Homo-oligomer: A and B are copies of this chain.
Amino acid sequence: MARAPTTFDPFNAVAEPKRRQLLEVLGTSESAVNELVEKLGWTQPMVSKHLGVLKQVGLVNERRVGRQRLYRLNAEALKPIYDWVTPFEQLWNARYERLDQLLQNLQEEKKNVRTK
């Protein structure tokens, strides 16, 4: 078995840095392909191909206007990533909470010393 296709899920689609960049730009505003080509400085086929992957996973939606195709972010499709990663946040914050606790205890002690 090979690696899962980039179109398998948002995790795989977003593993590619260029696609993350694309989503960041589209997070700001709906854009046509040529606008993205200009903003990002990539070749047109490159932009189209990455958009194709993002569309297949539902991370962007396409809207045809004249000869242009306007792409916009579908942020909800990022939710699986958000939901998966956020629970871990408390693990790397735990130490700071403990540090806070420690500092607070020290403050309390200081106060007690002063009032004694």
The residue from B15, B73, B86, B87 contacting A12, defined by CB atoms under 8 A apart: B15
Instruction: List residues of A (1-28) whose CB comes within 8 Å of B's CBs.
Output: 3-4, 6, 9, 11-12, 14-17, 20, 23, 27
Interface of A is mostly: helix
Interface size on A, residues (CB 8 A): 28
- Contact among B6, B16, B79, B88 with A92 in the assembled complex (CB-CB below 8 Å): B79
A38 within 8 A of B: no
- In the assembled complex, the CB of A2 is this many whole angstroms from the nearest CB of chain B, namely 10
> How far, in angstroms, from A73 to B91 measured CA to CA in the complex?
9
Chain B hits for A15, CB < 8 A: 3-4, 11-12, 14-15
